[in-house]
Amino acid sequence: MGQAISYALNQWPTLERFLDHGEVEIDNNLVENAIRPTAIGKRTGCFRLSRGGQRSAVMYTLIANCRLHSVEPYAYLKDVLERLPRTTNRHVPN
């Protein structure tokens, strides 16, 4: 019981942020459900710490955000990757 109370007290700043910003979800179930279809191949903690794991996490995030906003992921990524080589820092909004 003491460990549980200590854990809760250590999480207090995070809980306060949740209470101050009502739009923040208290859990990450929506994210977990969104990435489940694309999380094939995610196996070990070592993989997540590798460059491949980090790159996969970026791709999972992009694809999940596309789905969340009803954007077709393939079309979005194709458009971004086609425009990327001719885009300079001045073309990117702050």
For residues 47 and 53, the answer to whether their CB atoms sit within 8 Å is: yes
For residues 17 and 24, the answer to whether their CB atoms sit within 8 Å is: yes
Residue 26 CB-half CA count within 13 A: 7
User: Pick from 23, 32, 25, 19: which is nearest to 64 by CA?
Assistant: 32
Q: What is the structure's pLDDT at 70? A: 94
Domain residues of the chain, as ranges? 27-91
Structure tokens belonging to residue 42: 């995610």
CA distances from 45 to 8, 33, 39, 57, 84 (A): 25, 20, 14, 13, 31
pLDDT in tens, 47-90: 555 677 778 778 888 888 898 899 999 999 999 899 888 888 88
